[in-house]
Amino acid sequence: MKNVLSTLMTFLLYGILIFMVVIVAVSKISGGESTFMGYQLKTVLSGSMEPTFQTGSIVAIEPTDDGTQYKKGDVITFLREEGVLVTHRIIEVKGSGENTSYVTKGDNNDGADLEPVLASNVVGKYVDFTVPYIGYVMDFANSKLGSLLLLVVPGVGLFGYGCISIWREISKLEDNKEKESAKA
């Protein structure tokens, strides 16, 4: 039973370490802009789209260069003038071609957004993929403290567990030697 638990603990610690290294590496390599299989991963920071997305969730969006192809009901991510990314649902499409703009609204908001969204400000479209609460981990991983803790803590845990395992094995060897000496 001890061997099974020991093996499970080792695999768990290695798994956590590898998972955290991947999260931090992907986050740092992409400059904080996490991507997976061509989709951008965005963190939901407010409750404006609840219950569709919970605050702290990760949503996947398909990036676009042409923001004119969307229709009423699509959920898009767009850039506001303040440089803030917002993900809301299109409730009305105005104009066509280069003059396309969208009236958007958060599912949990009472009214439409004040400013229409220009097609050129659309970053991408939500692709029906959400992972609840992982956004908190991703945001923490993007911070200096988060990067340090998410890499160091599992590594130290694995190192400590390795040291304890080695100490136990050495103790067993010494006990066996003492028993053999006592028999002789």
Number of domains in the chain: 2
Q: Does residue 86 lie within any of the structural domains? A: yes
Q: Which two tokens stand for residue 89?
A: 């649902």
pTM over 0.75: no
Q: Does residue 182 lie within any of the structural domains? A: no
- Same domain assignment for residues 53 and 64: yes
> Nearest CA to 118 among 145, 91, 81, 169?
81
Of the residues 30, 46, 165, 171, only one is catalytic, namely 46
Q: Which two tokens stand for residue 19?
A: 């998972």
Measured CA to CA, the distance from residue 75 to residue 127 in angstroms comes to 8
Can 46 be counted among the known catalytic residues?
yes
Percent of the chain residues past pLDDT 70, beyond the cut: 90
Domain of residue 93: give its range. 33-137
Q: Does residue 181 lie within any of the structural domains? A: no
How do residues 9-38 score in pLDDT, each as one tens digit?
Answer: 778 877 777 776 776 666 666 555 666 677
- Same domain assignment for residues 128 and 78: yes
Q: Does residue 49 lie within any of the structural domains? A: yes
Q: Does residue 91 lie within any of the structural domains? A: yes
- Same domain assignment for residues 79 and 147: no
- Same domain assignment for residues 170 and 150: yes
- C-alpha torsion angle, residues 36, 75, 85, 114 (rounded to 10): 180
- Same domain assignment for residues 117 and 159: no
- Same domain assignment for residues 26 and 37: no
Q: What is the mean pLDDT of the chain?
A: 83
Measured CA to CA, the distance from residue 9 to residue 6 in angstroms comes to 5
Are 120 and 101 contacting, i.e. CB atoms less than 8 angstroms apart? no
